[in-house]
Amino acid sequence: SQKIEQNSEALNIQEGKTATLTCNYTNYSPAYLQWYRQDPGRGPVFLLLIRENEKEKRKERLKVTFDTTLKQSLFHITASQPADSATYLCALGNNDMRFGAGTRLTVKP
């Protein structure tokens, strides 16, 4: 069956460091992969999309990679700040969308 796994439930890092979150998937060939941010009590907010033929995408302090051979995406936040603390979700799709369970990131001052 199709599976999406995000590396850990929680990740704690120090302010200024780079946070790296992992999204692995099996039995699936998505055309694209998206990353979302979710704050407590709110709906997910779209951050970045990367297509299967793209290796890397950047947006300000965010960087996403997509390796269709390894079936893995890495999501990096450089120069992390306490305001980056949130849950980050990866999502894969074609017509339907499947989400990972998320990684809760805490950036400590």
Binding residues for other proteins, rule: CB under 8 A, are: 4, 31-32, 34, 41-46, 49, 51, 89, 91, 93-102
C-beta of 68 vs 93, nearer to other proteins:
93
C-beta of 46 vs 82, nearer to other proteins:
46
C-beta of 30 vs 74, nearer to other proteins:
30
Q: How far is the CB of 23 from other proteins (least distance, A)?
A: 11
Separation of first and last alpha carbons in the chain: 41
